[in-house]
């Protein structure tokens, strides 16, 4: 490849550190698509002959077939996917293969390949995330009335419903999909034709190749086209936030599956045992989803560090953009599928959750609200009165509803028998009818709305 300028080949160590075919072979389909579009454009513009373009296209289709069949011989000596394809093309069609690289560089070639790969992967992730949202909405619809503790600071706060809890994650994943969609819209510009960094003197039609590859438009600046990887960073940022959301749910599943919580059960499909303790049921699928978040976040951090000090335009440092991205998005895709499986598999113990929902005086806010609503107390006074009643119940080691009316009136004389209607956990969740609240009627409505919005094809 360097024949004119170099008299000897690279040393073994140089070849080892320089070669990227060990991972960028994954760009083969995108590389061939970009080359086919480029060759067709060159022929239309009269830069190469129609016969040469036809030979190139036939050869590229044949190479794609070899790669898909697993018969293509990748060579580290040829460094990367681009030169592996071009070398094989030369074997197949001879001299016309040498015309394919007219008016382009590996710099714009890899930029277009990677944009295409990231775009394809975002589309695949979106489909998986839509399925995960559907799993949350189905679970919410089926358990809209199941009462469970709601926590702040991991302390009992107020009763909620299990369905409401599931819909919280449907909302998070909806925002994740929005971030991926935003990133996709920004990356959908074609760098092909930017060449090495300055554009080209050949009369190319960049709009034609952009259309052929499904891009909205060509990139507007040739330096920027080959110099930046912010489109990858943005996708990795969206992936990191998504991985954090999945990790938070995974952490909750790990807690719920413990005997101490006992809120939910995973089947054998998503659990493992212990090599020494026969009684163990470990929620390892959830733990692995939680753990893989670190790989996704690490890929974002790693690429940010690679890019932070690079002057324009292209530097070979940017070859480090792919391995971490491939690994991170592979890991996230697997986690999305695994999480959807766990959500569908998860069986909540409704009796255990409801029994726990009233612990920690979780209906204290309902009592304070009743004091405001029925007695007209200012909320701050109602808060103080409720705090004294909770202290009394705690001192006696009983629940709020176990106190007598006389006990309650000893703190606030105006309290009536009606107060006991708000001290049960079911009454509590039923009263939370504000938009977005945990009332079962709200949960049913929101779950059905999600399922309708997602539709059978998501």
Q: Which amino acids are annotated catalytic?
A: 153, 274
Cβ atoms < 10 Å from Cβ of 436: 11
Longest dimension (CA), the chain: 100
Cα angle, residue 241 at apex, residues 237 and 243 outer, rounded to 5°: 110
Q: How far apart are CA 260 and CA 276, in angstroms?
A: 21
User: How far is residue 178's CA from residue 149's CA, in Å, rounded to a whole number?
Assistant: 30
Q: What angle do CA 380, 385, 426 make, to 5 degrees?
A: 95
Q: Measured between alpha carbons, how far is residue 78 from residues 109, 182, 303 in Å? A: 16, 36, 25
Backbone phi, psi, residue 207, to 5°? -65, -35
Rounded Cα distance between 372 and 124, Å, is 51
Question: From its phi and psi, is residue 311 left (phi > 0), alpha (psi between -120 and 50) or beta?
Answer: beta
DSSP 353-409: HHHHHTTTTTTHHHHHHHHHHHH---HHHHHHHHHHHHHHHHHHT--GGGS-HHHHH
CB under 8 A, 24+ apart: contacts of 200-207: 200/103, 200/104, 202/45, 202/47, 202/102, 202/103, 203/45, 203/46, 203/47, 204/41, 204/42, 204/45, 204/47, 204/103, 205/41, 205/44, 205/45
DSSP run (H or E) holding 160: strand 155-161
3-state secondary structure of 261: coil
As a whole number of angstroms, the distance between CA 426 and CA 433 comes to 13
Report residue 172 CA to chain centroid gap: 10
Alpha helices (H) along 194-316 = 206-212, 222-227, 230-256, 284-307
| Residue pointed to by tokens 């072979």 | 25
DSSP state of 228: -
Give, in degrees to the nearest 5, the angle at Cα 427 between 156 and 438.
65
């Amino acid at each position: 490849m360097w024949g004119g300028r170099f008299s000897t080949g690279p040393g073994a160590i140089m070849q080892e550190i320089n070669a990227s075919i060990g991972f960028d072979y994954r760009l083969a389909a995108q590389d061939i698509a970009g080359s086919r579009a480029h060759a067709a454009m060159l022929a239309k513009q009269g830069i190469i002959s129609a016969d040469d373009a036809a030979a190139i296209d036939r050869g590229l289709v044949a190479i794609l077939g070899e790669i898909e069949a697993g018969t293509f011989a990748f060579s580290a000596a040829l460094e990367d996917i681009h030169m592996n394809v071009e070398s094989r093309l030369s074997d197949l069609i001879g001299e016309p293969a040498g015309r394919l690289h007219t008016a382009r560089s590996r710099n714009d070639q890899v930029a277009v390949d990677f944009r295409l790969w990231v775009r394809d992967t975002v589309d695949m992730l979106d489909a998986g995330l839509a399925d995960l949202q559907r799993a949350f909405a189905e679970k919410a619809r089926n358990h809209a009335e199941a009462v469970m503790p709601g926590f702040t600071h991991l302390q009992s706060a107020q009763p909620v419903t299990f369905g409401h809890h599931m819909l919280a994650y449907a909302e998070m994943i909806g925002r994740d999909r929005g971030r991926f969609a935003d990133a996709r819209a920004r990356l959908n510009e074609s760098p092909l034709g930017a060449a090495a960094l300055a554009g080209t003197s050949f009369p190319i039609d960049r709009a034609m190749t952009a259309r052929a590859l499904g891009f909205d438009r060509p990139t507007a600046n040739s330096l920027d086209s080959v110099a930046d990887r912010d489109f990858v960073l943005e996708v990795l940022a969206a992936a990191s936030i998504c991985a954090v959301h999945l990790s938070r749910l995974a952490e909750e599943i790990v807690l719920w599956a413990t005997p101490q919580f006992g809120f939910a059960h995973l089947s054998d499909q998503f659990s493992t045992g212990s090599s020494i303790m026969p009684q163990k049921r470990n929620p390892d699928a959830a733990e692995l989803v939680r753990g893989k978040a670190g790989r996704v976040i690490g890929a974002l951090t790693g690429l940010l560090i690679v890019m932070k000090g690079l002057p324009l335009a292209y530097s070979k440092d940017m070859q480090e953009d792919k391995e971490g991205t491939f690994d991170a998005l592979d890991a996230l895709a697997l986690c999305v599928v695994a999480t959807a499986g766990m959500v569908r598999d998860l069986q909540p113990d409704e009796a255990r959750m409801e029994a726990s929902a009233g612990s920690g005086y979780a209906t204290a806010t309902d009592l304070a609200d009743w004091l405001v609503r029925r007695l007209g107390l200012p909320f701050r006074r109602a808060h103080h009165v409720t705090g004294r009643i909770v202290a009394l119940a705690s001192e006696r080691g009983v629940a709020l509803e176990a106190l007598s009316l006389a006990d309650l009136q000893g703190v606030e004389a105006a309290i009536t028998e009606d107060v006991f209607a708000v001290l049960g956990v079911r009454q509590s969740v039923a009263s939370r009818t504000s938009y977005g609240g945990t009332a079962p009627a709200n949960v049913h409505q929101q779950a059905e709305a999600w399922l309708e919005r997602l539709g059978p094809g998501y």
